[in-house]
């Protein structure tokens, strides 16, 4: 990631960037260009809108203006992303900040907007961006938090953007082991083969693939932690649909079906980077949902970690099967205070809420509120949907405790109800986030770069920060 530097030294060798909005003011002595900048700022009220100073300048070399709208967090994040995209990657910049700045959001926007998939042909930005303020020390902490957030989001995006020709369960597990090894205090345990005996859902979903499934358990357990959060992320490295095979357009982006796993891993690493006094256990059930002679079939009955059974009516409803085992394990073995799962679970969630809003489910109003607020602050929107008990009959099976793919509508709700069955008493302090919609962006938009969005890493990290605040 390119460096951002706080400074109180004006550098007129660099391109100057002026944020303009109701809370932004030109609080610097700009000499001869002051009046022209003020004229150019006229009517610039949209966050992220860029205007270029129209004539050649000697010092600075160049100037541009960026709208910051009303100056709230999302506006500053939009402005940061717009700045990153407006200039070439090697252009030295200095952003001139006045009295009021949402520094964390601005820095997050700069980094997120500057993201490129690390294996892409294009090099990412390398030139430092300077943040010019009269009180640099006051913003050091905000900048450090933004850095951790951006590292988490970039990590999640890199993992999800990786093609499935590279990304199988072993590869993904090794990437996570490698990232954990760069931190102190993060441990990883990987279960494979016979250790997965009780994980009947995970074994069934992974059965047809050349690459075996595994369960990654990652732990951040600082001394003195009072709260213990279990994070569970769906980790399907490619979802072909299995025997209930997907359509061509439906299958095309399915390398991102491990975005939930990427988000929980990234947030856990972020908790360690910030040394948060919160215990975090991340569970990543990893498998490829492939087609083959060993594939699990529609109508098969399998046994989950908690001993209950599922009739698998559609092999494309695979995410809930691997989550069922991981949630059952979390509920039975971890004694966590809170369990949150994140998954690209249903196309129905995308139909309901589109590509910028995830669906949130919880029986716990306080937990739902905290997650929604974390998402708002991080720039990732969620909308809560219900868990109606009377829809549970959608799940009824003749041959097992339940079946996996109800077809009576409310697909995202039915999937959430299915998951809730594996939590036992812990259903009361559990939340499920269906991020099928926002996990992929067809087009670049503000801080979202086209491709895998890394959705969830930022929200989960903010949530963990909130617990220790």
Q: Which is nearer to ligand BES, 130 or 439 (CB)?
A: 439
For residue 456, the partner it binds in Zn ion, ligand BES, Mn ion, none, with Cβ less than 5 to 8 A by kind, is none
Could you tell me how many residues of this chain bind Zn ion (CB under 5 A)?
4
* Measured distance CA(402)–CA(316) in Å, rounded: 16
Provide the pairing of β-strand 4-7 with 129-132. parallel
The number of CA neighbours under 13 Å toward the Cβ of 151 is 19
CB neighbourhood size of 401 (10 A): 17
* Measured distance CA(415)–CA(317) in Å, rounded: 9
Among 227, 314, 397, 468, binds ligand BES (CB under 6 A): 314
Among 75, 217, 257, 465, binds Zn ion (CB under 5 A): 257
- In the stretch 212-251, what mask flags binding to Zn ion with x, by CB under 5 A? ------------------------x--x------------
Contact present, 312 and 404 (Cβ < 8 Å): yes
Structure tokens at 385: 């949907």
319 is an interface residue for ligand BES by CB under 6 A: yes
Contact present, 263 and 233 (Cβ < 8 Å): yes
Among 319, 375, 406, 437, binds Zn ion (CB under 5 A): 319
* Measured distance CA(436)–CA(449) in Å, rounded: 17
* CB neighbour class for 469 (10 Å; exposed up to 12, middle 13-18, buried from 19): exposed
Among 124, 212, 298, 347, binds ligand BES (CB under 6 A): 347
436 is an interface residue for ligand BES by CB under 6 A: yes
* Measured distance CA(205)–CA(197) in Å, rounded: 13
Could you tell me how many residues of this chain bind Mn ion (CB under 5 A)?
3
At its nearest, how many Å lie between Mn ion and the CB of residue 241?
5
324 is an interface residue for ligand BES by CB under 6 A: no
At its nearest, how many Å lie between ligand BES and the CB of residue 253?
7
Does 356 participate in catalysis according to the annotation?
Answer: no
21 is an interface residue for Zn ion by CB under 5 A: no
The number of CA neighbours under 13 Å toward the Cβ of 343 is 33
Does 252 participate in catalysis according to the annotation?
Answer: no
Position of minimal CB gap to Mn ion? 316
Stretch that binds Mn ion, among 79-87, 111-119, 239-247, 292-300 (CB under 5 A): 239-247
* Measured distance CA(195)–CA(285) in Å, rounded: 13
Among 21, 200, 260, 411, binds ligand BES (CB under 6 A): 411
* Measured distance CA(417)–CA(388) in Å, rounded: 8
At its nearest, how many Å lie between Zn ion and the CB of residue 257?
4
Q: Which is nearer to ligand BES, 130 or 344 (CB)?
A: 344
Name the active-site residue from 198, 246, 356, 376.
246
Triad 454, 332, 169: Cα angle to 5°: 40
Q: Which helix (H) or strand (E) holds 384?
A: strand 381-384
Q: Is 4 helix (H, G, I), strand (E, B) or coil?
A: strand
Per DSSP, 125 falls in state: P
Stretch that binds Zn ion, among 165-173, 258-266, 316-324, 454-462 (CB under 5 A): 316-324
416 is an interface residue for ligand BES by CB under 6 A: no
For residue 314, the partner it binds in Mn ion, Zn ion, ligand BES, none, with Cβ less than 5 to 8 A by kind, is ligand BES
User: Under rule CB under 5 A, which residues in 263-322 are in contact with Mn ion?
Assistant: 316, 318
Q: Which is nearer to ligand BES, 305 or 455 (CB)?
A: 455
* Measured distance CA(289)–CA(241) in Å, rounded: 6
Residue numbers at the binding site for Mn ion (CB under 5 A): 239, 316, 318
Catalytic annotation, residues: 246, 320
């Amino acid at each position: 990631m390119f460096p951002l530097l706080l400074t109180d030294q004006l550098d007129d060798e660099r391109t100057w960037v002026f944020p303009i909005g109701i809370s932004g003011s030109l609080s610097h002595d700009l000499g001869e260009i002051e009046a022209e900048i003020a004229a150019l700022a006229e009517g610039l009220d949209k966050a992220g809108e860029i205007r270029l100073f129209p004539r050649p300048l000697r010092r600075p070399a160049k100037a541009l203006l960026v709208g910051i709208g009303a100056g709230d967090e999302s506006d500053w994040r939009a402005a940061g992303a717009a700045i990153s995209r407006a200039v070439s990657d090697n252009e030295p910049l200095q952003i001139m900040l006045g009295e009021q700045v949402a520094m964390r959001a601005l820095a997050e926007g700069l980094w997120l907007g500057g993201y490129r998939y690390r294996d892409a042909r294009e090099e990412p930005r390398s030139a430092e961006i300077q943040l010019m303020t009269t009180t640099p020390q006051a913003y050091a902490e905000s900048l450090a938090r933004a850095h951790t957030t951006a590292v988490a989001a970039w990590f999640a995006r890199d993992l999800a953007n990786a093609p499935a020709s590279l990304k199988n369960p072993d590869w993904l597990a090794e990437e996570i082991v490698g990232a954990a090894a760069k931190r102190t205090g993060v441990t990883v345990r990987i279960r494979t083969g016979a250790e997965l005996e009780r994980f009947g859902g995970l074994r069934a979903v992974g059965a047809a693939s050349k690459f075996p499934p595994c369960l990654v358990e990652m732990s951040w357990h600082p001394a003195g932690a009072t709260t213990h959060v279990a994070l569970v992320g769906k980790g399907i490295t490619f979802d072909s649909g299995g025997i209930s095979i997907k359509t061509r357009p439906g299958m095309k982006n399915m390398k991102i079906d491990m975005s939930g796993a990427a988000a929980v891993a990234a947030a856990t690493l972020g908790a360690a980077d910030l040394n948060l006094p919160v215990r975090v256990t991340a569970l990543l059930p990893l498998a490829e949902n492939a087609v083959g002679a060993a594939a699990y079939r529609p109508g098969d009955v399998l046994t989950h970690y908690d001993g209950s059974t599922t009739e698998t009516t559609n092999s494309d409803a695979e995410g809930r099967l691997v989550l069922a085992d991981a949630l059952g394990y979390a509920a039975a073995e971890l004694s966590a205070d809170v369990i949150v799962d994140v998954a690209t679970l249903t196309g129905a969630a995308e139909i309901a809420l589109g590509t910028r809003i995830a669906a949130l489910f919880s029986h716990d109003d306080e937990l739902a509120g905290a997650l929604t607020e974390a998402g708002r602050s991080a720039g990732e929107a969620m909308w809560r949907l219900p868990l109606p008990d009377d829809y549970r009959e959608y799940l009824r099976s003749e041959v097992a405790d339940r079946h996996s793919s109800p077809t009576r509508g409310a697909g995202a709700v039915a999937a959430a109800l299915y998951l809730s069955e594996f939590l036992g008493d812990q259903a009361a302090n559990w939340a499920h986030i269906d991020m099928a919609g926002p996990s992929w962006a067809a087009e670049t938009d503000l801080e979202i770069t086209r491709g895998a969005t890394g959705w969830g890493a930022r929200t989960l990290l903010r949530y963990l920060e909130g617990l220790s605040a």
